[in-house]
């Protein structure tokens, strides 16, 4: 199994803070519009379906399936260059949204489209991010 790597720290704004804080609690948080019911990812201050500002967060199951993936074998940028080969993927969540992520916890050659996966969080030190800092994590997925 290739070495895991420390994900770069996600930059957060007040619009996306709830997502990263949710990850810090090891909860995958999505948005739903209180007015039209639309579920959206990535998080933002308005509903991109009806422009309502009444957007709430809910905790997703963290289960999904691989939509597509690639085994990255060349990347000159740290920390990724020290973690080759690693798997970049899109995962379809049970709740609908499709999100970009990494598949970890298995040999890259074992990943396949349609594979069932579950969320796996890596805590990141965000203590330098002021009030928002201290409890972020990056969501990745591993075979279910």
Partner 1 sequence: MSLAGSIAIAGVHEHETRWAPDKTELQIMAESARGALADCGLGLGDVDGLFAASMSMGAMGTVSLSEYLNIKPRYLDGTNIGGSSFVAHVNHAAAAIHAGLCEVALVLYGSTAASNALAIGTGMGGGGRDPNGAFIGPYGMTTVGSYALVAQRHMHLYGTRSEQLAEISVAMRKHASLNPNAKMRKPISVDDVLESRMISDPLHLLDCCIISDGGGAVVVTSLERARDLAKAPVVLLGCGEAVAHQEIGSPDLLTLAAKQSGEHAFGMAGVSHDDVDFCTIYDSFTITVLATLENLGFCKPGEGGDFVSGGRIALGGALPVNPDGGGLSNNHPGMRGIFLVIEATRQLRGECGERQVQGASLGLAHGTGGTIGALHSGATLILGRD
Residues that bind partner 1 (CB under 8 A): 5, 7-13, 15-16, 20, 38-42, 48-49, 67-78, 80, 83, 86, 88-90, 96-102, 113, 138, 140
- Residue 33: name the closest of 48, 47, 16, 17 by CA: 47
Distances (CA, A) of 48 to 32, 51, 75: 11, 5, 34
> Is 97 or 143 the residue whose CB approaches partner 1 more closely?
97
The nearest distance, CB 144 to partner 1, in angstroms, is 19
The nearest distance, CB 67 to partner 1, in angstroms, is 7
> Is 83 or 119 the residue whose CB approaches partner 1 more closely?
83
The nearest distance, CB 100 to partner 1, in angstroms, is 6
> Is 15 or 35 the residue whose CB approaches partner 1 more closely?
15
C-alpha–C-alpha distance, residues 102 and 120, integer Å: 10
The nearest distance, CB 78 to partner 1, in angstroms, is 7
C-alpha–C-alpha distance, residues 132 and 117, integer Å: 29
* Structural tokens at position 95: 């709740």
First to last CA, the chain: 17
> Is 40 or 52 the residue whose CB approaches partner 1 more closely?
40
The nearest distance, CB 41 to partner 1, in angstroms, is 4
> Is 113 or 144 the residue whose CB approaches partner 1 more closely?
113
Report the b/e string of 21-36 with b at 16+ CB within 10 A.
bbbbeebbbbbbbeee
């Amino acid at each position: 199994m290739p070495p895991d790597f420390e994900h770069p720290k996600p930059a957060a704004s007040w619009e996306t803070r709830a997502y990263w804080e949710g990850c810090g609690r090891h909860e995958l948080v999505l948005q739903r519009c209180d007015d039209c019911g639309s579920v959206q990812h990535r998080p933002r201050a308005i509903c991109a379906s009806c422009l309502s500002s009444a957007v709430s967060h809910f905790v997703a199951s963290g289960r999904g399936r691989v939509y597509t993936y690639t085994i990255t074998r060349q990347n000159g940028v740290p920390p990724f260059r020290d973690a080759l080969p690693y798997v970049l993927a899109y995962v379809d969540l049970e709740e609908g949204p499709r999100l970009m992520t990494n598949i970890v916890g298995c040999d890259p050659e074992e990943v396949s489209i349609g594979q069932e996966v579950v969320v796996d969080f890596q805590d990141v030190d965000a203590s330098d991010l002021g009030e928002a800092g201290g409890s972020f994590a990056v969501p990745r997925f591993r075979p279910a």
